[in-house]
Amino acid sequence: MESLPVTEGQIEFKIADDVPPCFTYYKVVGELHNGKTLLIALHGGPGVNHEYLLVLSDLTKMLQIPLVVYDQIGTGRSTHYPNKMGDVAFWTEELFVRELDNLINNLGISDGYILCGHSWGGMLAARHAVRQPKGLKKLILMSAPADMKLWVTAQDRLRSLLPKEVQEVLTKHEKEGTTDSAEYQEAVGVFYARYLCIMDPMPAEVTAGFAEIEKDPTVYLTMNGPSEFHITGLLANWSIVDEVRCPCQRS
């Protein structure tokens, strides 16, 4: 990215009258209004930051496609609310949809953009897309579930392939409510090394994302749960399946 222009800043995001001011940190790689349809990339988690998505700046370098990334509320350099741990009335999907809309409007890019979401970011992107905003030109979903119950079923199948002793550790701590223990986290790491990212060692950008969750697990634990396969948060029943129409027709 050394040879590419980079702009960064913060955008105010008003959540509610009784909530302290919130700011969304964003970064633009390339020239935002250069005539090319820009790419907005949404990170996963929820709870990691945007850093691992900067690899997409290769598209800026090769094709002059401007890249917009940002840290969602509660993550990275955006405003954190650790006092809202477990507050499912605060940490809603709609909150993140509104934040994305606020970013798009404040950057003046609502006329045309491509949306790319990874994991939870793909779920968020899909929710944005089913509302058929006029400026959305293309939608790219990377490793994003369409239905969380189907996701858990698939994860359980993979989990059953782990060594028996690892499975026993996972089950033990999930039953006892001790998923914050080092033993459980080590067992989770075995699953992640087999099925989440098989590169050894994992790229620094990926481990840095996990570190963000460790620093402030508020969003991740409230919305997701203690791991990618033990979903106990408000996203446990999430699904977009019934809202997908193909071929897509604008209303």
Domains of the chain with bracketed CATH: 6-147+239-243 (3.40.50.1820), 148-236 (no CATH)
Q: Which residues are within 8 A (CB) of 131 and not within 5 positions of it... i.e. 6 or more apart?
A: none
Q: Which residues contact 247 (CB under 8 A, 6 or more apart)?
A: none
Q: 20: pLDDT confidence band, cut at 50, 70 and 90?
A: confident
Determine if residue 125 is left, alpha or beta; phi over 0 gives left, psi from -120 to 50 gives alpha, anything else beta. alpha
Q: Is residue 171 predicted with pLDDT exceeding 80?
A: yes
Residue 15, pLDDT > 90, answer: yes
120 three-class SS: helix
Q: What is the mean pLDDT of the chain?
A: 95
The C-alpha atoms of residue 43 and residue 81 are separated, in whole angstroms, by: 19
pTM across the whole model: 0.94
Residue 88: per-residue pLDDT? 96
Per-residue pLDDT of 205-238, as tens digits, reads 999 999 999 999 999 999 999 999 999 999 999 9
Where b means 16+ CB within 10 Å and e means fewer, 234-246 reads: bbeebbbeeeeee
Residue 23 has pLDDT above 80, yes or no: yes
Using the predicted structure, report yes or no on whether residue 175 has a pLDDT greater than 80.
yes
What is the β-pairing status of strands 22-29 and 6-13? antiparallel
pLDDT(249) > 60? no
Identify whether the C-beta of residue 93 lies closer than 8 Å to the C-beta of residue 110: no
**CB-based contacts of 183, cutoff 8 Å, min separation 6:** 169, 173
CA angle, residues 113, 246, 38, in degrees to nearest 5: 10
Q: Say whether pLDDT at 2 is over 70.
A: no
- Give the phi and the psi of residue 103 in degrees, each rounded to 5: -60, -50
Flag whether pLDDT at 49 surpasses 80: yes
DSSP reduced 3-state for 123: helix
